[in-house]
Structure 1
């Protein structure tokens, strides 16, 4: 893994680096290597100079495509072609850090859903998505990710309703599914053109996503982001730790938002998933250090010392 510029430069009190401050700050629970990759991507020249121009163009394109799709058959869709284009773009133009974070997201999201499904009083199975490389994304992976999330919420709550139960604190949660994905930053494409940062890539890909999917698929994908609070509430309920919800903030799930800000909100979605997964990892490690197996640290019984909250 290449050393980010803000770490290589060190600390100058006359010119302190905001990126170094964010990296050293421990109020947001992220593994050091993830935070370093995230901040290296965020501090890149692409993010600083290209994104301000790409974002308004991308949002204007979303509006134009919406007008065009008024005259297109409702079921017009080319998901397989879309995913081939996305994989090609990631392979050839997106930075190693951004590609690593994107692939990690599928693994972490699957693990978080498995944690909730396993620890529900009415356990439900999940459909994990764990792409080993960019090539695997061609199998409609982005679309499946959105479908998985809504299907999970429906299955979980239908199972609870059918048995007259409600989600509550688990006395000994099972953390066995929480682990670091077998993905390495050094294995990501490192070509001369792999410079595009995560946010710029997402802003560019969002209009393409809208163009090549049905309105229903695109709307569902954009509004799946509002389930961040829902998933956070589920995890916090199981852990009896509501304070960990403070940085899970992607708007109220019952108030759909315009799709124009979907690109920015997708970045928040990815970061929220990383932090929730990191929190679960810390709880698992703390439990293992106490001689337990599940990783659960009851609220008020060591959680504050070993497992800092999200803020």
Structure 2
């Protein structure tokens, strides 16, 4: 059974209104209720309030120190498989159920969004979906593959359009068949005594480990992949003929790479942007009366 967030269990007190309840009830951000409840429960946790302010500066200092150390390490030094085993171990034992659920959802939703763009492009482009069923499935270098998939997709899509002398435009008939609920259940996530770490704290904690155990190229590519949020948003909005849906996709300009020091915070924005874009696609799918594939 998934727990009811405190801000929903306590109700509304007009003399002491909950900001989390206000955000949950607000409908300007397109998220399903269960996703918004999990996101806000994680965001309002004691871990995020009291632990994150201490973790964030330590994590950023560690990133700087590791960058100095890696000057003296062979450029191809990498232990990706070990990294992913450590990440899976840490997620299962220390990260909150809500955060783990949102992380797993992200791979499914991101794959569906790329599939949507690839299918509706004037030149259809294939994708390599990542659909981990549980945390253990992440050991198959899923985080690294996620970044590779994104850049490879952008390159394949635009190379195909250039080869045909075409540009992305509004699709005459939009195919939503790949957009569906991932089928992951919050109640299936680990709920041990130590599963308390919120999503943002976990990301800040794991980012230096990610940097340490991957090559510089892999780490910089992972950080710079966050610049493509607007790019993917523009693709989807162009196919839908609905540019107004870009308003909540904001992770800085794709042509201006930022320092890796803020990668943890921007990764959270990346996850939220993906959730909202997927939610918008599901709403438009429902309005169209489309039936998703099983």
| TM-score interval (norm. to shorter) | over 0.9
Instruction: Tell me how far apart the structure 2 counterparts of residues 173 and 293 of structure 1 sit (CA, whole Å).
Output: 12
**Structure 2 regions of 5+ residues with no counterpart?**
none
Residues 226 and 252 in structure 1, CA contact (< 8 A), matched pair in contact too? yes
Q: How does 1:108-257 map to 2 (within 5 A)?
A: 108-257=109-258
What pairs up with 1:1-311 in 2 under 5 angstroms? 1-288=2-289
Q: TM-score, normalised by structure 2?
A: 0.98
Q: Report the Cα distance in structure 2 between the residues aligned to 1:256 and 1:100, rounded to whole angstroms.
A: 29
Q: Once the two structures are superposed, what CA deviation does each residue of 1:280-307 show, in whole Å capped at 9, x if it has no partner?
A: 000000111xxx669xxxxxxxxxxxxx
Give secondary structure in 2 for the equivalent of 1:225: helix
- Provide the C-alpha distance between the structure 2 equivalents of 1:103 and 1:31, rounded to a whole number of angstroms: 16
- For residues 276 and 172 of structure 2, what CA distance do their matches in structure 1 show? 23
Deviations 1:8-62 (A, max 9, x none): 0000000000000000000000000000000000000000000000000000000
Q: What secondary structure, in the 3-state scheme, does the structure 2 residue paired with 1:193 have?
A: coil
Q: Which runs of 5+ in 1 are unaligned?
A: 295-311
Q: For the residues of structure 2 that align with 1:286 and 1:119, how far apart are their CA atoms?
A: 18
Encode CA deviations 1:169-200: one digit per residue, 9 max, x unaligned.
Answer: 00111000000001000000000000000000
CA displacement, residues 251-288 of structure 1 (integer Å, 9 cap, x when unaligned): 00000100000000000000000000000000000111
Runs of 4+ in 1 over 4 A off after TM superposition: none
8 Å CA contact 1:287–1:293 kept in 2: the answer is: no
Instruction: Measure the CA separation in 2 of the matches of 1:36 and 1:182.
Output: 17
CA distance in 1, matches of 2:229, 2:80: 24
- RMSD over aligned Cα atoms: 0.8
Instruction: Return the alpha-carbon distance in structure 2 between the equivalents of residues 18 and 164 of structure 1.
Output: 50
- The CA deviation string for residues 70-100 of structure 1, in whole angstroms up to 9 with x for no partner, is 0000000000000000000000000000000
Q: What is the aligned length?
A: 291
Give the whole-Å Cα distance in 1 for the aligned partners of 2:76 and 2:70.
10
